[in-house]
């Protein structure tokens, strides 16, 4: 039987002498999954995902990638399988041109010649950066630097792409464009782990959601079930989506026929029209 891409078993972790940041976390990430990792600040989201490629080593428990303990290899050796996009694009940008920046990781994997050209140009194309290929990336604006950073990790062509708050500082349109590029790669089979505070983006893209609270998993299941559970989200310090609020209020007011798991505005509009047409009335 093929082992899962990532298997986290009874993982405990603490920074220096601090209190445990992770308390007995267990989960598996399969090939081709899109998992949103949610939780308020300090809940352990980043600490958890940094174990997937060995950036952090377990205090207790273990993390296996394709069945191999992450402690057995150096972080750099996991780069063929797992790519990690940090919150700040400036943490990775250092090259003299966008092309060189994107080529950095594949080169470290020993990729060269036509394959290197293909990887870099595919990533640049996907993010609309072909015209900026010769520009020093540090001279670009914030939004473009974010795109360069994403292109750089896409060129690693990993089996798992970890995105740590990738849409921070981007406007709604840019955030959506950004995640559309990731979605395209996901459709080609790449697993995605998305750390985000934006529940709407999680609802739109993730198939599964892991909700973290005080270093433990408060919920792990289909994104629709986790994101639609207002009480659970509030308990974990997150505010449910406006659609969940509105649908709940309308149901309380007596509008029958509105499903309980509505998350996105377009779903809500459709369900509302159907419920209203079906004879549901508000304020009975």
Partner 1 sequence: MMLDLYVRADAWYHRFDPRTKFGLTLLFVVAAALIRNPLAMFALLALLHILPLSSRVPPARLLAAWRPLWPITLVILVLGSFTWGAGAASVWWRWGQVSVGPASVLQAVTMALRVDALAFAFSLLLWTTEQGELVAGLTRLGLPHSASLTLAMSMQFVPTFGRIFGEIMEAQESRGLVIPRNPLRAARAYLPVLIPLIITALRTVDHLAMALAARGYGAASRRTSRRQLRMRRADALALAGGAVVLLVVLLARGL
Residue 90 interacts with partner 1 (CB under 8 A)? yes
Taking CB under 8 A as the rule, does residue 191 contact partner 1? no
Q: What is the pattern of x (binds partner 1, CB under 8 A) and - over residues 110-149?
A: ----------------------------x-----------
Among 3, 42, 67, 76, binds partner 1 (CB under 8 A): 76
Q: What's the min distance (Å) between Cβ of 109 and partner 1?
A: 6
Q: How far is the CB of 68 from partner 1 (least distance, A)?
A: 17
Which of 29, 36, 92, 247 forms a contact with partner 1 (CB under 8 A)?
Answer: 92
Residue of 2, 17, 19, 279 that binds partner 1 (CB under 8 A):
17
Number of residues that bind partner 1 (CB under 8 A): 30
Asked if residue 169 binds partner 1 (CB under 8 A), the reply is no
**CA 219, CA 179: separation in Å to the nearest integer?**
24
Among 64, 104, 216, 232, binds partner 1 (CB under 8 A): 104
Among the listed ranges 86-94, 177-185, 221-229, 246-254, the one in contact with partner 1 (CB under 8 A) is 86-94
Out of 91, 130, 234, 245, the only residue in the binding site for partner 1 (CB under 8 A) is 91
Site residues, partner 1 (CB under 8 A): 16-17, 50, 53, 55, 74-80, 82-84, 86, 88, 90-94, 104-105, 108-109, 138, 152-153, 156
């Amino acid at each position: 039987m093929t082992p899962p891409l990532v298997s986290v078993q009874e993982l405990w972790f603490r920074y220096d002498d601090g209190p445990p940041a992770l308390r007995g976390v267990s989960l598996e990430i399969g090939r081709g999954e899109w998992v949103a990792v949610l939780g308020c600040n300090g809940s352990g989201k980043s600490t958890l995902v940094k174990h997937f490629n060995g950036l952090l080593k377990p205090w207790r428990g273990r993390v296996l990638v394709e069945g191999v303990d992450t402690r057995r290899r150096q972080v750099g050796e996991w780069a063929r399988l797992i790519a990690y996009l940090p919150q700040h694009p400036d943490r990775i940008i250092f090259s003299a041109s966008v092309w060189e920046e994107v080529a950095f990781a594949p080169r470290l994997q020993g990729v060269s010649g036509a394959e290197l050209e293909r990887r870099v140009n595919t990533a640049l194309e996907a993010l609309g950066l072909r015209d900026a290929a010769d520009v020093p990336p540090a001279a670009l604006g914030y939004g473009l630097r974010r795109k360069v950073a994403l292109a750089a990790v896409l060129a690693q062509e990993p089996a798992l792409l970890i995105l740590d708050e990738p849409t921070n500082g981007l406007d709604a349109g840019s955030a959506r464009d950004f995640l559309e590029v990731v979605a395209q790669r996901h459709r080609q089979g790449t697993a995605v782990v998305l750390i985000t505070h934006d529940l709407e983006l999680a609802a739109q893209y993730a198939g599964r959601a892991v909700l973290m609270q005080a270093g433990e998993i408060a919920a792990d299941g289909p994104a629709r079930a986790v994101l639609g559970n207002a009480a659970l989200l509030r308990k974990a310090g997150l505010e449910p989506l406006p659609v969940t609020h509105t649908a709940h209020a309308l149901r309380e007011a007596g509008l029958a026929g509105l499903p309980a798991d509505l998350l996105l505005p377009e779903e809500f509009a459709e369900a509302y029209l159907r419920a209203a047409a079906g004879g549901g009335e508000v304020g009975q």
